[in-house]
């Protein structure tokens, strides 16, 4: 998973460099640099796909991993990357039994900030969390908000109440964790609920 994250980060940096060079190309001729970056990006995309395929092959080659992977990827907002990441991080749901502890591990559970008895601040998530997994779950939350009627309704209601959109997305990401653990614990597949 670390090599996938590494290649993914490089791809994002290359995309940003290509955008910047296209803008710079208007004032100076750097067409060759843009073309070179595009070729490098294509190379890293191929490497990313290979790594993801290898990870999926490993998951599908083991019966227990495949069963849990199939269950959790049916949850709206949970794709292959989140599914595999959760299986790796929980050691196929043997390292974490409690979704709340796992949510805390992913940095989705905010804690009140205080220093002594007088200084109080906003609630914050821990800096010791797994930031990569948190990022994956955040992306999954935005997908779920778009495609799951129940979570879309929840998100819109909280925004109308004046809540911060990232705070609400964090809550949706935690709801994804709850759903993932729920489908793993029971033998029933995920059922899409109406709002």
Do residues 79 and 57 share a domain? no
pTM over 0.85? The answer is no
Do residues 86 and 106 share a domain? yes
Do residues 119 and 184 share a domain? yes
Do residues 17 and 105 share a domain? no
Do residues 113 and 18 share a domain? no
Burial label, 133 (beta-carbon count in 10 A; 0-12, 13-18, 19+): buried
- Residue 99 CA to residue 101 CA, distance in Å, equals 5
- Which helix (H) or strand (E) segment holds residue 120: the answer is strand 119-124
**CB under 8 A, 24+ apart: contacts of 66-73:** 68/92, 68/93, 68/184, 71/183, 71/184, 71/189, 71/190, 72/180, 72/183, 72/184
Pairing relationship of beta strands 119-124 and 111-115 according to DSSP bridges: antiparallel
Do residues 55 and 82 share a domain? no
Count how many domains the chain has. Answer: 2
- Which helix (H) or strand (E) segment holds residue 114: the answer is strand 111-115
Q: Residue 99: which of 27, 173, 20, 159 has the closest Cα?
A: 173
Q: 110 lies in which domain range? A: 64-195
Mind listing the pLDDT tens digit for each residue in 38-96? 888 898 889 888 988 998 999 999 999 999 999 999 999 999 999 999 999 999 999 99
Do residues 74 and 2 share a domain? no
Mind listing the pLDDT tens digit for each residue in 174-190? 999 999 999 999 876 67
Do residues 42 and 104 share a domain? no
Do residues 18 and 70 share a domain? no
- Residue 106 CA to residue 27 CA, distance in Å, equals 44
119 three-state secondary structure: strand
Q: Summarize the confidence of residues 113-123 as an average pLDDT.
A: 63
Do residues 143 and 81 share a domain? yes
Mind listing the pLDDT tens digit for each residue in 22-51? 777 677 777 788 888 888 889 888 988 898
- Local confidence band at 8 (pLDDT 50, 70, 90 cut-offs): confident
Do residues 102 and 91 share a domain? yes
Q: Residue 180: which of 110, 129, 132, 133 has the closest Cα?
A: 133
Dihedral sign (CA 173, 174, 175, 180)? positive
Contact predicate 76/192, CB 8 Å: yes
> Last residue of some domain: 35, 61, 87?
61
Q: Which is higher by pLDDT, 59 or 192?
A: 59
The conformation of residue 124, written as its DSSP 8-state character, comes to: E
The conformation of residue 161, written as its DSSP 8-state character, comes to: T
C-alpha 118: how far from chain center: 36
> Last residue of some domain: 61, 80, 112?
61
Do residues 85 and 133 share a domain? yes
> Last residue of some domain: 44, 61, 78?
61
């Amino acid at each position: 998973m670390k090599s996938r994250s590494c290649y993914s980060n490089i791809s994002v940096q290359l995309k940003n460099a290509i955008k910047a060079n296209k803008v710079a190309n208007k004032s100076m001729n750097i067409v060759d640099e843009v073309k070179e970056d595009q070729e490098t990006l294509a190379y890293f995309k191929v490497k990313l796909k290979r790594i993801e395929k290898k990870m999926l092959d490993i998951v599908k080659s083991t019966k227990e991993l495949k069963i849990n992977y199939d269950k959790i990827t049916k949850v709206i907002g949970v794709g292959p990357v989140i599914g595999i990441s959760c299986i790796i991080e929980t050691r196929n749901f043997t390292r974490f039994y409690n979704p709340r502890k796992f949510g805390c591990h992913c940095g989705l559970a905010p804690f009140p900030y205080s220093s002594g008895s007088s200084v109080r601040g906003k609630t914050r998530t821990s800096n010791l969390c797994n930031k990569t997994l948190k990022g994956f779950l955040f992306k999954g939350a935005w997908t779920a908000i778009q495609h799951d009627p129940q979570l879309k309704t929840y998100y819109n209601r909280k925004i109308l109440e004046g809540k911060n959109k990232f705070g609400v997305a964090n809550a949706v990401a935690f709801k994804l964790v709850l759903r993932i653990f729920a489908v793993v614990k029971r033998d029933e597949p995920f059922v899409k609920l109406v709002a």
